[in-house]
Amino acid sequence: MPKLRSVALSTHIRTNLLASGPHITTFPNSVMRLYADRFSLKTLPIDLPVRPWPVVIVTVKNRTLSPVVELFMKHLRDFTKSMATEQRVR
């Protein structure tokens, strides 16, 4: 893997860096479909390892959550548990 020389989270900045110089980055397929022709970008056929991103739920201390928020958090927890189970099976 190449060493990181600069870090930019903006898709717009990364696309323009790619188009203007000797840079390499990763994009989801959806971004490549949008920008490949416009910026003359080429997809390189490489497999990168999947790295899970940490996700947290943050709430304000001593504040009551609305029923909608409680339900949303329950669905998120259920969904992420099912994702973890699928990954263990693989």
In the predicted model, what is the mean pLDDT of residues 70-78?
Answer: 92
User: What are the backbone dihedrals phi and psi of residue 89, each rounded to the nearest 5 degrees, phi first?
Assistant: -70, -35
Q: Are 41 and 18 in contact (CB under 8 A)?
A: yes
Q: Give 47 or 77, the one with higher predicted confidence.
A: 77
Is the confidence at residue 57, as pLDDT, over 70? Answer: yes
Mean pLDDT for 41-66 is: 84
> Which range has the worst mean pLDDT, 20-24, 37-41, 85-89?
85-89
Tokens of 8: 């930019």
pLDDT band, residue 61 (cuts 50/70/90): very high
pLDDT band at 87 (very low <50, low <70, confident <90, very high): low
* Residue 73: CA count within 13 A, CB half-sphere: 10
For the chain, the C-alpha Rg in angstroms (whole number) is 19
